[in-house]
Chains A and B, each alone.
Chain A
Amino acid sequence: MKGWLNGIGWVTAAGCNGGRNFDQQPLCAGVVETPKRKQVFANPDLRFGRLDKFSKIGLGAIAFCLRDGDAEQWEEKRQIGIVTASRYGCLQTDIDYLGTMVPDNGALSSPKYFVYTLPNSFLGEAALRFGLTGSTLVLNQTDTTGGLAAIRYALEELSWSEQPAILAGICDLDPPINLATEAGYPGSLFMLLSKEPSTTVSSYGELELRDGEIIFAGAKVADFRSLVGAALGILER
């Protein structure tokens, strides 16, 4: 099961950017700033300001990823899927929504928040903006997969389905303090995995799922962060 890594984009503590414009590890500790519309889209986007923070960072990372892979522009809808792994999902939005529901016994429940109390809502935002008609879903991130759950899933789907490309990545905000763990980094980072190498930009390399291991450019990948490092050519110290 193979796929070409044609684009990388993120909104993390390192800021928001695409892989071709950056030479540092974007998955790092720190505060993830909510991106402004102008940082993500050059043109006005009326809905962007209404999104919750989880959706803004996820949508932003997908936008930067597609831009990095020269796949942002479209005329006809494309059968590209999105697979996201998330540890906490939209928990913060759930809590914000309950902040509107609980005080007045539901009388002032916010429909604006409620729409984003599903972790896959932002995938719909991405799908409609970029014409993506593949399968879109959110998986729970686990500690046993090294943060590679979405990459594994995407490589399998590329092999088993007709989708020519899948965006695979992570999306997480900081959790409530009592649920915080050492694992993972806050923010969102997506990779554009395609059955074929891009014809307009250079690919980062080929990924393979072989005997349960993720292989990138011929070497086994331990976790998601090292995959990002290897793709960007960063020497981890």
Chain B
Amino acid sequence: MRRVVISQIATLTSLGAGLDSLWQSLLNGETGIAPVTRFDCKNYVSNYAACIDGLDAPANGSMLDTILAQLAEQLGDLPTDCRLLVASTKGEVDLLTDACRQQEEVPATVVAAPFVEKIAQQFGIEGSAININAACASSTLAVARAAAQIAAGDADAVLVYAADLVSEFVFSGFSALQALSDQPCRPFDANRNGLTLGEAGVALLLTSEAAAKQRNETPYAYVSGWGMANDAHHVTAPARDGNGLILACQQALKKANIANSEIAAINAHGTGTIYNDAMELTAFNAIFSADIPPMHGMKGSLGHCLGAAGGVEIAVGCKALQQQLIPATIGCQEAEIAAQGQIKSEVQKISGDYILSTNSGFGGINAAVVLQGVA
């Protein structure tokens, strides 16, 4: 099996553009969550979200076009044989919503194929390009798929591109489900009461180690393990026993060929909903017993960025391994009993070569990726 590295990263979140800037903001304990001004929230249970400051759509375009252009500026040259895996749950839903409001024809780019084609054109990718939809685990699944393709020798380079918006479509839906917190979310807090939405774009270039060397690229990290599993329990609620997440993590650890004790930290999904966070703690307890490594969640800083969440969290995981630090879990004031000692409201030092990053989503899907630091 060939070794897989992440050799380029571009990010755009509510905490700004670029991974270095995002990392510093996270270490500073900043949050991008603020009252929403993009649409009227008077009929919703919350008015908080983590929106990208000043994000506008070009004429007749989607706000995702702006994210795409900004991420393309951050990336360097891509290998000529690069493939593309896109991960977006709702794509250009802003255009679909506008069309329905104006009673106009449905725009072509709300369908996945032209949306993917637009992204491929932006990056000059001529090879295979597909969109993966696995709800809020989409980009984690895409990273896993890209790593599998490269490890098997099926591809040398794959660009994983993930982006999702804070849209009224999704905001109203989570409000109708009573899943939004009326205050900024509090992942793993004993008094958490729901999630806060966020938006982001992220691009991760995965290549074989040999291809990165050939291109004189210094890898951020190895992708050394991955796993995916369904709870087979419920469409919107996680399995109380965490069986799907446990299975995904076990697969990832096995693929990485490491002992559980070698995981230096966990980047958890941590949505701030009662049941998700409890499920995760149950799963991590089952996997690590009494030795759960330090954990953190980023959704109190960035909101829940849907299909892009996992990609951003993997990007931050790369920095965490380099710096041997994990950011504070913003919003967690009084950690859930099962998380006490592992989740902190301050930056934590870590020690080790591996980070486990996990996400779960509607449809019962769970995905886990093990990152390994580059010596």
**A residues at B contact (CB < 8 Å):** 77, 79, 81, 86-89, 91, 94-95, 97-99, 101-102, 104-107, 109-111, 114-115, 117-125, 127-128, 130-143, 149, 156-157, 159-162, 175-176, 178-179
- Whether the pair A133, B133 counts as a contact (CB closer than 8 A) is no
- Whether the pair B133, A109 counts as a contact (CB closer than 8 A) is no
A161 to B250 CA separation, bound complex (whole angstroms):
13
- Whether the pair B112, A89 counts as a contact (CB closer than 8 A) is yes
Contact of A120 among B130, B135, B169 (CB under 8 A): B135
Contacts of B177 in A (CB 8 A): 111, 114-115
Chain A CB within 8 A of B365 CB: yes
How far does the Cβ of B117 sit from chain A's closest Cβ, in whole Å?
A: 9
- Whether the pair B40, A105 counts as a contact (CB closer than 8 A) is yes
Known: A97-B169, A107-B43, A124-B362. A142 touches B113 (CB 8 A): yes
Contact of A118 among B111, B131, B133 (CB under 8 A): B133
- Whether the pair A106, B132 counts as a contact (CB closer than 8 A) is no
Contact of B93 among A88, A94, A159 (CB under 8 A): A94
Known: A89-B112, A133-B230. A98 touches B141 (CB 8 A): no
- Whether the pair B232, A77 counts as a contact (CB closer than 8 A) is yes
Residue of B nearest to A89 (CB): B112
Chain A CB within 8 A of B134 CB: yes
A117 to B167 CA separation, bound complex (whole angstroms):
13
Chain A CB within 8 A of B154 CB: yes
- Whether the pair A119, B133 counts as a contact (CB closer than 8 A) is yes
- 7 closest cross-chain pairs (CB), A and B: A140-B112, A114-B173, A124-B363, A135-B228, A106-B172, A111-B176, A107-B43
Q: Which of A117, A123, A124 has the most CB of B within 10 A?
A: A124
- Whether the pair B106, A123 counts as a contact (CB closer than 8 A) is no
Contacts of B90 in A (CB 8 A): 117
How far does the Cβ of A216 sit from chain B's closest Cβ, in whole Å?
A: 21
How far does the Cβ of A117 sit from chain B's closest Cβ, in whole Å?
A: 7
Residue of A nearest to B110 (CB): A91
Residue of B nearest to A112 (CB): B176
- Whether the pair A128, B232 counts as a contact (CB closer than 8 A) is yes
Contacts of B232 in A (CB 8 A): 77, 127-128, 130-133
- Whether the pair B173, A111 counts as a contact (CB closer than 8 A) is yes
How far does the Cβ of B231 sit from chain A's closest Cβ, in whole Å?
A: 7
How far does the Cβ of A173 sit from chain B's closest Cβ, in whole Å?
A: 12
Contacts of B174 in A (CB 8 A): 114
23 A–B contacts, CB within 8 A, in A order: A87-B112, A91-B110, A94-B110, A97-B169, A98-B96, A101-B169, A111-B176, A114-B174, A115-B236, A117-B173, A118-B362, A127-B231, A128-B232, A128-B364, A135-B141, A135-B230, A136-B230, A137-B138, A140-B130, A143-B113, A175-B106, A179-B106, A179-B108
How far does the Cβ of A183 sit from chain B's closest Cβ, in whole Å?
A: 10
Known: A106-B172, A107-B43, A109-B172. A118 touches B105 (CB 8 A): no
Residue of A nearest to B364 (CB): A124
B107-165 residues with Cβ-Cβ distance < 8 A to A are 108, 110-113, 115-116, 130-135, 138, 141, 148-149, 151-152, 154
- Whether the pair B362, A95 counts as a contact (CB closer than 8 A) is no
Chain A CB within 8 A of B233 CB: yes
- Whether the pair B230, A134 counts as a contact (CB closer than 8 A) is yes
Contacts of A87 in B (CB 8 A): 111-113
Contacts of B171 in A (CB 8 A): 106
A156 to B154 CA separation, bound complex (whole angstroms):
10
A interface footprint on B249-273 (CB within 8 Å = 1, 0 otherwise): 0010000000000000000000000
Contacts of A119 in B (CB 8 A): 133
Residue of A nearest to B129 (CB): A142
Contact of A134 among B108, B131, B229 (CB under 8 A): B229
- Whether the pair B100, A118 counts as a contact (CB closer than 8 A) is no
Given A94-B110, A115-B362, 12 additional A-B pairs, CB 8 A: A79-B229, A106-B175, A120-B363, A124-B231, A127-B364, A140-B112, A142-B113, A142-B116, A157-B148, A160-B152, A175-B111, A179-B111
